[in-house]
Amino acid sequence: MKSGELCVSAKSLAIQDGGESVPPAVGDTVSFTVEGKVSRIEGGEVYVTPMTANGEPLEDAKGKEMPREGDEPSEDSLRKSLEQMEATGAY
């Protein structure tokens, strides 16, 4: 995923055309509603982590559903992430 992109399901951006649901194509301009959670505030700038688009959960670049408000990672999940980071040297 490129910087500045959101991974949004085609279903959530589809338009109705004659009773048929038509997904967008590359180059189409789309308009949708994003709901997110404020992740931090620095000076006069607010950073938002997007959570849903048109009511559909957003996915991260690896296809995993993004965490919802109030979700906490499990200890096992954190341990596995740390082990993967150590194995690849990505920390």
| Digitized pLDDT (tens) for each residue of the chain, 91 residues in all | 566 788 888 888 998 888 899 999 999 999 999 999 999 999 999 998 888 888 888 876 445 555 555 556 667 767 777 777 777 776 5
Task: Dig out the tokens for 60 from the structure.
Answer: 């991260």
Residue 45 belongs to some domain of the structure:
yes
Is there a domain that residue 41 lies in? yes
Query: CA–CA separation, 12 vs 34, rounded Å?
Result: 11
SS3 at position 85:
helix
Is residue 3 included in any domain, yes or no? no
Whether 4 is in a domain gets the answer no
Predicted TM-score (pTM) of this structure: 0.54
User: Does a structural domain hold residue 5?
Assistant: no
How many domains does one find in the chain? 1
Is 53 within the bounds of a domain?
yes
Specify if 63 maps to a domain. yes
Contact yes or no for 41/49 (Cβ under 8 A): no
Instruction: Examine residue 1 and state whether it is found in any structural domain, yes or no.
Output: no
What is the residue range of 79's domain? Answer: 10-88
